Chain A
Amino acid sequence: MSVKDNSVTMEGPTLFPPWIGSVLILIVFLGSWDGYVRLFDVSMLVLPPPSAVVVQWLKFLVDGNVWYHTGVTTLETGLGFLFASILGVGLGMLLGKMPRLERMLNPFVIATQVVPKVALVPLFIVWFGFGITSKVVIATILAFFPILLNTVLGVKSVERGHSEVMASINASPMQRLTQLDFPSSLPYILTGMEVGVVLSIIGAVVGEYLGGSVGLGNLAVREMNTYNTTALFAVIVHLSVLGFLFYAFVVGVRKYLIPWHGSSN
């Protein structure tokens, strides 16, 4: 009798890869949703069956109108995320290198952290108008803080031994920044960006809820106002896909930029 050891993990032999489990969970979820709607005869105004949502979503996709709104929301989110990344990483590197300045500004950073920033959205619309600018500002501000805080943490987490190597080979402050602090902080920066990119979508969409006439957030509000719940769900699905693509983009960047780090596996 031969004993076959095909697994070194503690979980024992695996029958199927984990993604099949994810698909199964999704099927069960959609199935119970559909069953619930049919069984209890729930009104389409409250909860449409998933099949109707999918059909409506596909209609959106071929209709073409949704693509314009998608473009607007993508632009707002993308610009907001870009500005947040530049500001957050730049300022984060600076504060990480200047602990005294960081301690001085810390109360203000915490103060701005605890303010529910979404509450400021109406204010930004007053200041920056109903156009794209106000949404970009909101997306930037929401994504900025996690990127800033993670960058500071990254710079402060540079290994002492690595710093001493740079000291022993007489690296200039600029060389330390570009050759050690920045690459060493990248895992932290990218974690901040993963959180930030999701927040910039939220910022853009919330901005669209409250002001202006374009974007997926605005489309959702319009469908709500006409009690077209199925279309509202379809917009939500569409937004989720958009959010997933943004998130996948940042994760892809992580794998490309820091293959050496454990988080990229």
Chain B
Amino acid sequence: MTVQPVSMIADHQKSISLKGAEKHFGPPGGGVQALTPTTLDIVGGDMTVLLGPSGCGKTTMLRMIAGLEPPTAGTIEVGGANLWANGARDVNALKQLGMVFQEANLFPWLTIEENIALPLKLRGVNKAQRQRKSRELCELVGISGFEKRYPKELSGGMRQRAAIARALSYDPMILLMDEPFGALDAITRDTMNAELQRIWMETRKTVVLVTHSITEAVFLASRIILLSPRPGRVQEIIDVPFERPRDSSIHGLPEFQSIVAHLRTQLEH
């Protein structure tokens, strides 16, 4: 499993580097070491999956990259810029990050269109441009025709599509996703995985996705970063060689099954 992913030639501007980044909750000496000092590069323009059981630090790592939690020590570079310089978030680095949460977290008082364009509104983009961008993104994520609806009128899968569109609205180079399909049913989840791959192929963003589903990880990832708990640390980095676009038939390939089996063994340790 040392095959190089096809998308190795990627823009360094879209890459993420962790340099000794660690996260400790609670008092020094006590508390919990959520993530031990970690140094790794996430390739720009690629699809990387953080995989591991609960408590392995995968969500903590993603939240630090997203600028939602400061690292206790070490640095995180986004496109070469230090995200957490002097404890404050670097605004230019932050602009390159779009975050999708497990829940869609759409604002119920805004229409889908207004939700998607909210980041643009905060940036002072005018209404006509916001509407145009929303339309475009609704088409990209497959919810055209629902622009004027309210979130409660949409299904869980469609709400998550809108959340992805919102994260893409200001055209960040990096899309971060924290178990984005974890709250969806299995059938919708498979559809969303295929859709995410399509969106990724159309936009060529750097995607970093957190999951605890092995098959989801192998289906989506060009590279899997496997983490293990107590204390949270990177256990192994695995490249996944399948050509894109991948469809559900790859689940039956012997190589797919051998990667899944390998990951399962690693996770059981």
Contact = CB atoms under 8 A, between A and B. Distances in A.
A167 B68 contact: yes
A78 B124 CA distance: 37
Interface stretch (B93-101, B135-143, B208-216): B93-101
**Most central of B101, B109, B118, B150 by chain A CB within 10 Å:** B109
A110 interface: no
Contacts of A170: 67, 89, 91, 94-95, 122
Contacts of B152: 260
B103 A168 contact: no
A63 interface: no
B21 interface: no
A169 interface: yes
Interface string A139-176: 00000000000000000000101101101111110010
B16 to A, nearest CB: 15
Interface string B99-117: 1010101011100000000
A260 B99 contact: no
Contacts, number: 51
A261 B118 CA distance: 19
Interface string A243-263: 000000000000000101100
Given A170-B94, A260-B152, A165 B122 contact: no
Interface of A is mostly: helix
A175 B101 contact: no
A179 B118 contact: yes
A261 B103 CA distance: 19
Nearest to A257: B109
Contacts of A186: 109
Nearest to B104: A161
A172 to B, nearest CB: 8
A242 interface: no
B109 A165 contact: no
Contact of A175 (B107, B108, B122): B122
Contact of B109 (A172, A175, A260): A260
A183 interface: yes
Top 8 A-B residue pairs of the complex, sorted by shortest distance between their CB atoms: A168-B99, A161-B105, A169-B119, A260-B108, A183-B109, A260-B109, A165-B105, A170-B94
